[in-house]
Amino acid sequence: MRIFFLLVLLLFLITVGFLVRLSISPMSLDRSGPVINYFIEKSNLISTANLKQLTLYFDLDLGSLTITAGTAEIRMISGNQYKLDQVNLSISTQAFLNGLTFVPKTIRAEKVYLNIVSHQQFEQKVAGGTGDVKGVDPKTPLPQLGDILKSVRDFQSGNDLPYIESIHFPDIRLLVMNETTGARYVTSGSSVFYKSVSDIRQANVNLAINETGVESRLTFELYQPFSAAGHGALKLQNIRPVLLSSIYPFASVMDRLNVPIDGQIDFTSNDQGEFSRAEVRFDFARGNMQIGSKNLPVRKLGLRAALDLKAGDGEISQLDFDVGPHQGAFSGQVRFERTPRNQLDFISGNLSADVIALSFDNAGGDMFSPDDLTLSFEVNLPSARLDITEIKFSSGGGVLGAGAEIFYDQLDLPIIFTGHLNNLPIESFKKLWPNNLLKMTRGWFFRNVHGGVMTRGTMTMNTTFERLRKSTKGERLSGTDLFVDIDIEKSKLRYYSKLPAMYDIDGKLLIKGSRLEVKVQNALLPSSGDAPIRIKGGNAVIPENHIRYSDMIVTAMMEGSTPNILKYVDQDPLRLMRGFAFKPDTILGNFNGSVRLQFPRLGQLPLNRISAKVDAQISDFILTKPVTGYHLDADQLQLKATNDQIYVTGDARINTVPSRVEWSEKIKKKDINNNDL
C-alpha cells in the first residue's frame, strides 16, 4: 500500500512539475499563452497563435499531449493567417522530447480557413519590338508555394513522419489575397484526410480552386499498407501552369503559357512506403502560348512518361506540340538525382525528334524541318543552370551540332554557347537562325547571302541575352560576346542592290562581335563580255553592324578583260568613267588589280556618298581611239582612280615610238572632256 501511495505521489509530482515548467494550469484559459508560445519557439513556421476555449490533456501512458480548442487563429512567419474551428491536436511527446521540435500526432478540425497574403510585385506585361516580356501577368496573384513545399519535403524526409497518425480537415476554405494588385482567389470544397494505423497508411487531398466561375481541382490519393506495395495518384484538372512556376523557378517559362493542364500521375510504392515508379500523363487544353511578341494558338501539347523513382531514370514515350506554326514530336530518356534529404537536385536526358517543323520568323515563314534532330541536356537545380550538352541535326546532307549553358535564374540570362557545322546548306542555316537573335546581323545575312554550302564552321558565344538584345539598339558587341568562323562554297553575295552580285564565292563568313565580314578567296562577277570578271581575293566588311545604316567596305582583287572591268566601275551609281575622253570599249588589255568601295547601307545612294578607289595594272594595253592623231599602246600601265581623279602612268609607245606616259584627269560631274596628257 505504501509503495502504491509513493507511486501515485511520484506521478502527481511529475505532472505538477510538467505543468509548472509550462507555466499553465489545465483549467486556466487565460494562462495558455506561455504553452502555445513555447511550442511556437520550436516551430520555424508559426509567428503567433491564439486558441480559444482551450483544453490541454497529457496522457503519460501514451506519451501524448492533446490540445483541443473551439477556434485557433494562427499567423505564420510568412504573413499568412489560418483560422480553424473545432480543433483537436495531439502531439507526440516522444518525438518532442527526442528532437525538441513541434511534431503533431493527430490533427483534426471541422473547418479550416486559410488567408494567404501575397506581397509580390507584378510588373505590367510589356511587349516591345523585340518581343521581350517583363514580369508576370498581374492577374497572377498566387502565393509562392516553393517555401511551403520545401518545408513539407523537409518534414517528409526527416524522422518525424512516423509519429503522425491522422489528419482530418473535411472543409478547407482558402482566400489568396495580393495586397499589391488587390486581386483575390476564393476556394471551397477542398479537403485533406490522412490516416496511419498499424497496418495501413491512407491519404486523400482534394483542393478545389474557383477562379472567375471556372473550377480547377487537384486531387491526391494514397493507399500504402505497411510492409507491402502501395499505390496512389495525383490528378490535375484545369490547373493553370503558373502554379508550376510558383513551385520551381525553372518552370517560369510556363507563365507565358495560358493553357490549363489536365493530367495525372499514377505511382506505386515499395514495401517501405517509398515511391518507386510513376506513370505521367499531361495534356494542355486548348489556349494560347506567348512566343516572342506573339500569342500563338495551342492546338496540342502533351507528355507521356514512365519514371523509375528509385533508380532515378525514365522513358519519355511522347512529348508533342502543335503551337501556332510550330509542330514537333519527341521521345527519349531522362535521369534525375536527389539530395540525401530527397530533394530533386539534377535532371539530365536526351530526346530525338520524330517530327519537327519550326518557324523562326514565328509567323509560318522560314520553316525549318531537318531530316533528324537529337538533344541532350542537363539541369542543375541548385545552381539554376541549364546545360544543353549537345543539339545536333542534319539537313540537306549537312550536320550542325551545338552546346550551351544558360543560367536561367539571373535577370540578364548569361549564355555560353559553342557550335560546329559540316556541309550545311546556307538556306538550311538561315532557317535555324531565330528571328530575334542578332537581329541586324541576321537581317543583312538573309538579304545578301544566298545559296551555297557551309563546308566547315565554328561558333562561340560568351555573353548574355540582355547584351544581345541591346545590340539591336546600338550597343556594340565584343569578339568575346560572339565569334563565328565558317567556310563557304559556291555562294552568292549581294553587297549593293544596284551592282551585280558576286557568285560562286569560295571564302569565309567571319563575325566578331558587331563586326561582320565575308572574306572572298575566289568569286565571279557577271560582265557584258564573253567571260565573267574573276575575283581572286577581297572582302565585304561591316565594321559596326550594331549601328543601322553604318558603312560597308567592299574590296575585290579583280582579273579579267579591261573593257569589262571598266564598264563595271562606270555603271550607276559609281560612274568613275564619267567625263573621260574614252569609252571603256576603246581601251583593250588585261586588268589585274583592286577595286574598293565604301558606302552607307542606304536604299538610295547619292553619288557623293560612295567612295571608290581603283589600283590596278593593265597589261597588253591598246587604245583603239587615236589621241590627236596618235596611237597609244603599252606592255603594262599603272591605273589609279578615285571619285575625283584618274591617273595613268607607265612606259608606252606612241606611234611605235617608246615613250613615258603620265596621264591624269580630274573627274567632273558633267560628261565633258578634261584630259591632261
The DSSP 8-state label assigned to residue 175 in this structure reads: E
The strand pair at 482-493 and 449-450 is best described as antiparallel
Q: What is the pLDDT of residues 331-367, one digit of tens each?
A: 999 998 888 776 778 889 999 998 888 876 677 776 7
Question: Given pLDDT bands bounded at 50, 70 and 90, which one contains residue 148?
Answer: very low
Residue pointed to by grid coordinates 560568351: 462
The strand pair at 372-380 and 385-395 is best described as antiparallel
Question: Given pLDDT bands bounded at 50, 70 and 90, which one contains residue 144?
Answer: very low
Residue 548 has pLDDT above 60, yes or no: yes
For residue 558 the three cell numbers come to: 579583280
CA–CA gap between residue 185 and residue 40 (Å, rounded): 29
Residue 17 has pLDDT above 80, yes or no: no
In a 3-state reduction of DSSP, which class is residue 179? coil
CA–CA gap between residue 431 and residue 23 (Å, rounded): 76
- Average pLDDT, stretch 581-603? 85
Question: Given pLDDT bands bounded at 50, 70 and 90, which one contains residue 313?
Answer: very high
- 257's CB contacts (< 8 A; 6+ apart) are 241, 284, 287, 289, 290, 298
CA–CA gap between residue 503 and residue 480 (Å, rounded): 31
pLDDT at 253: 53
Q: Give the domain ranges of the chain.
A: 370-548, 552-677
Q: Specify the DSSP element, H or E, that contains 280.
A: strand 275-284
CA–CA gap between residue 154 and residue 349 (Å, rounded): 27
More reliable by pLDDT, 487 or 661: 487
> What residues form DSSP beta bridges with 332?
316, 351
The phi and psi torsions of 183 (rounded to 5 degrees) equal: -75, 150
Q: Are 248 and 146 in contact (CB under 8 A)?
A: yes
> What residues form DSSP beta bridges with 394?
372, 399
Closest CA to 55 of 64, 67, 65: 67
- Average pLDDT, stretch 594-615? 78
Residue 593 has pLDDT above 90, yes or no: yes
Residue 442 has pLDDT above 90, yes or no: no
In a 3-state reduction of DSSP, which class is residue 410? coil
Q: Are 85 and 71 in contact (CB under 8 A)?
A: yes
More reliable by pLDDT, 285 or 408: 408
CA–CA gap between residue 299 and residue 323 (Å, rounded): 6
Question: Given pLDDT bands bounded at 50, 70 and 90, which one contains residue 19?
Answer: very low
> What residues form DSSP beta bridges with 203?
194, 222
Residue 29 has pLDDT above 80, yes or no: no
What is the longest distance spanned by two Cα atoms in the chain?
155
Handedness of CA 310, 312, 317, 320 (dihedral sign): positive
Least confident of 64-78, 241-255, 599-613, 662-676: 241-255
Residue-averaged pLDDT of the chain: 74
Question: Given pLDDT bands bounded at 50, 70 and 90, which one contains residue 94?
Answer: low
Report the b/e string of 518-554 with b at 16+ CB within 10 A: bbbbebbbebeeeebbbbeebbbbbeebbbeeeebbb
Percent of the chain with pLDDT over 90: 18
Residue 295 has pLDDT above 60, yes or no: yes
- 343's CB contacts (< 8 A; 6+ apart) are 150, 153, 157
Residue 542 has pLDDT above 60, yes or no: yes
What would the DSSP string read from start to end of 200-259?
A: EEEEEEEEEEEETTEEEEEEEEEEEETTS-EEEEEEEEEE-THHHHHH-GGGGGGGGEE-
Question: Given pLDDT bands bounded at 50, 70 and 90, which one contains residue 644?
Answer: confident
More reliable by pLDDT, 492 or 364: 492
Residue pointed to by grid coordinates 523509375: 308
The phi and psi torsions of 124 (rounded to 5 degrees) equal: -70, 150
Tell me the CA distances in angstroms from 91 to 46, 66, 109, 163, 450, one per residue in order.
16, 6, 15, 9, 76
What would the DSSP string read from start to end of 438-472?
A: SHHHHHHHHHHEES-EEEEEEEEEEEEHHHHHHHT
CA–CA gap between residue 423 and residue 398 (Å, rounded): 4
Separation of first and last alpha carbons in the chain: 146
- 628's CB contacts (< 8 A; 6+ apart) are none
Percent of the chain with pLDDT over 70: 67
Question: Given pLDDT bands bounded at 50, 70 and 90, which one contains residue 398?
Answer: confident
Question: Given pLDDT bands bounded at 50, 70 and 90, which one contains residue 117?
Answer: low
pTM to 2 decimals? 0.61
The DSSP 8-state label assigned to residue 408 in this structure reads: T
Q: What is the pLDDT of residues 400-423, one digit of tens each?
A: 899 999 887 787 888 898 999 999
pLDDT at 211: 58
Least confident of 45-49, 517-521, 650-654: 45-49
Q: Are 39 and 51 in contact (CB under 8 A)?
A: no
- Average pLDDT, stretch 76-102? 62
For residue 653 the three cell numbers come to: 609607245
More reliable by pLDDT, 354 or 24: 354
Q: What is the pLDDT of residues 195-206, one digit of tens each?
A: 776 667 777 777
